[in-house]
Structure 1
């Protein structure tokens, strides 16, 4: 069974991107631990907005790792590669999970606000690493959205970076 893991940066006021998806305020901070996290996963599971942004901004960023896009608006199935990464679109979480499991993916990197929120609400997100950077942006795409019920997270580790960011790793309850 595939497990889902997130690694996200957010502003001090809880946004993962500006109102139009801007990330310039975030990319000036070092991604402490990102390379080790990236090496621990077998595939990407991202939403349509993240896919569009990364395809246009940095198509080689995922270094050939398979990318699975969760989208109800793109046609399901194989899409053109993004850099060296194969891309497959899935219309919903059950088809995404089935495809990842069939492909033998043990750990998937969940990326994109709505995708992470959907996996969390469904009880499928195993853990999340949040790097809160010392910048207030006022509005944008929130780190978390509405949940059907409160989710009790267990703090696994927390560090402060040399740039004043606080990075915390939380384990989350998942379905059996």
Structure 2
């Protein structure tokens, strides 16, 4: 079965965006393993808001199949599929059981919480940036139950960024 992996930047205090939706706090001085990660995935799970932001940078995922979770948009640019809420669970199971590489859960935050609550996330790969934002969009919102994690790997960088890879159970 293909793994669904969250790969996100997060501030030390748990925010994935600043208070005005900004990402200017993310370190970009090196690739932090992103090329290797991108080679391990061949599909992207994404919500509508994140997808609309992604359209401004389509060069990032030209060879990835995009699965767009939305009830408002009806098509995906390039190789992709729209998944509506009425076929959410069946579609995720079908895609996970298809032959292929792992699946990158790209976002957004509300969709991530739903995926976590339903047990559809297999791993978290969090790039923890050495900054405290104080406010912004939290990594997880509205989880109704605890989610257990097992630390699989820790990679510290000279910049102060630390990558944490967890299995979700």
TM-score normalised by structure 2 residue count: 0.86
- Does the CA contact (< 8 Å) of 1:158 and 1:169 recur in 2? yes
Separation of aligned partners in 2, 1:141 and 1:31: 24
For 1:122, the equivalent position in structure 2 comes to 118
Shift of 1:137: 2.2
Aligned residues of 2:117 and 2:144 also touching (Cα < 8 A): yes
Q: CA deviation at 1:98?
A: 4.9
Distance 1:143 1:115 in 2: 11
Range with bigger deviation, 146-155 or 30-39: 30-39
Shift of the 141–96 alpha-carbon distance from structure 1 to 2, 3 Å rule, reads farther
2:106 corresponds in structure 1 to 111
Asked if 1:68 corresponds to 2:67, the answer is yes
Structure 1 counterpart of 2:76, from 68, 74, 79: 79
What residue number does 2:41 align with?
A: 41
Unaligned runs of 5+ in 2: none
How far does residue 105 in structure 1 lie from its aligned partner after superposition?
4.0
Equivalent residue runs for 1:96-107 within 5 Å: 96-98=91-93, 100-101=95-96, 104-107=99-102
Give the distance between the partners of 2:101 and 2:93, measured in 1 at CA: 12
How far 1:102 sits from its partner (Å)? 7.2
Deviation at 1:47, TM superposition (A): 1.1
Structure 1 gaps of 5+ residues are none
Shifted more, 109-118 versus 26-35: the winner is 26-35
Partner of 2:82: 89
- In angstroms, what is the RMSD of aligned CA positions? 2.0
Q: Measure the CA separation in 2 of the matches of 1:133 and 1:8.
A: 10
Task: Give 3-state SS (helix, strand or coil) of 2:41's partner.
Answer: coil
